[in-house]
Amino acid sequence: MVVALLKDKVVLISGGTQGLGAGVARRAAAEGAAGIAITGRNAGAGEELAAAISAAGVETRFIKTDLADVEQARNSVLETIAEFGQLDCAVNAAGLTTRGTMLDTTPELFDAHIAVNLKSPFFIMSETIKHLRSRGVPGSILNVISIAELGGQPYLAPYVAAKAGLAGVTRNAAHAHRWDRIRINGLDIGWTATDGEAETQKKFHGAGDDWLEKANASVPMGKLGQVDEIAEFIVFLLSDRSGVVTGSVIDWDQNVLGGSD
């Protein structure tokens, strides 16, 4: 008998209103989640997605959250628990990708990246762990990081700084809470086809409407990372089917680091 991967689990997804976060929300619903909370700044998109998933049979709530404000991030965990009575899995999928190099990044831009890409995920993890420990139950957390945390492009300097920190704290928290049976993993995703990436390519790199076709032709597998495939893997890592895996930061990319032609 096939059992849904997230049966009886309540899942919180930051940045769950669009892109990869929305894909994870849909996949979590397909895998039998008992309840889903999605957060983001766009109330229209959030409410629409929550209503669609709820109509399909899985209660879903949108919690308006600006991750630049750490208190809003922490409260998103508390509101999820208040709404569903429990929280079992958390996904930090939101991310700020504005550009900056070592030479032109301002302190304000640096602080913005730290706030969204590191500080708020840190405290979402913290509140989730506190809740799971208070219940004395196992749980799982998945941090969407980036392959760029291992070096990245020159124009991603503050992004890399924050994401590298998130990779480190993923390992630290996994080690600290392994005896609580709280599994914490990360996914270093590479170049992925999302609506947000389309906007980024046009805004920062002057790309045209054919950017995706050109991007697909430029990579070994003939396609960028796909949201549905990544979302399926994230849900697997959240689920008990991923066994004892914790503290792993897994590359999801088609370029092999250290390889050379």
Average pLDDT over residues 86-104: 97
**Could you give the residue numbers annotated as active site?**
159
Q: Which residues contact 200 (CB under 8 A, 6 or more apart)?
A: 97
Mean pLDDT of the residues in the chain: 95
Average pLDDT over residues 141-150: 97
pLDDT at residue 130 in the model: 98
**First CA to last CA across the chain, in angstroms?**
47
CA-to-CA distance for 224 and 62, rounded, in angstroms?
Answer: 29
The string of pLDDT tens digits covering residues 160-218 is 999 999 999 999 999 999 999 999 999 999 988 887 787 888 888 888 888 888 888 98
Average pLDDT over residues 93-121: 97
- Record the tokens describing residue 179, joined without a space: 């005896």
**Burial level of 206, CB count in 10 A (0-12/13-18/19+)?**
exposed
Query: Percent of the chain scored above 90 by pLDDT?
Result: 84
> In which residue are the tokens 């930051």 written?
14
Which range has highest mean pLDDT (1-15, 81-95, 183-197)? 81-95
Residue 133 predicted with pLDDT over 90? yes
CA-to-CA distance for 110 and 237, rounded, in angstroms?
Answer: 30
CA-to-CA distance for 180 and 41, rounded, in angstroms?
Answer: 32
CA-to-CA distance for 129 and 143, rounded, in angstroms?
Answer: 14
Q: 1: pLDDT confidence band, cut at 50, 70 and 90?
A: low
Residue whose C-alpha is closest to residue 92's, from 55, 57, 117, 68: 117
pLDDT at residue 192 in the model: 84
